[in-house]
Amino acid sequence: MVRQGAALSTRMSRVTGDQARRYAIAGLSIVAASLVISFAFALVAQMVTGLSLAQVWIAYAPGGVEAMAAIGLSLGYDPAYVAVHHFARIFALLLILPLALRV
């Protein structure tokens, strides 16, 4: 554990405050964009299916399968519904990404 902390801190010592601020802004921007896009698709899906907007948004929100299924379960939503949508997203990425990167 100490070795990992030492290795990380030596790499982080090269990052300036300005770089850290730019990276933080970029990261927050990506998270915000992901949440807005997932909310827009969840809103459309909620109108079509009539399911709870919160349940659909959790199913579409970016995150790990097990974490989002656990969040859905703790909020009283169907964890299978949430997990299947996350598996479908990962599966689609595994299929689409190689095709998109082929030039």
User: Tens-of-pLDDT digits for all 103 residues of the chain?
Assistant: 567 777 777 777 788 889 889 999 999 999 899 889 989 999 999 999 998 998 898 888 877 788 888 888 899 988 888 888 888 888 888 888 888 888 6
- Residue 46: how many other CB atoms lie within 10 Å: 17
What is the DSSP secondary structure assignment for residue 50, as one 8-state letter?
Answer: -
Paired tokens of 51: 């399911």
Structural contact between residues 55 and 77, judged by C-beta atoms closer than 8 angstroms: yes
Contact 46, 39 (CB under 8 A): no
**C-alpha separations of 10 from 7, 13, 15, 73 in Å:** 5, 5, 10, 40
pTM of the full structure: 0.67
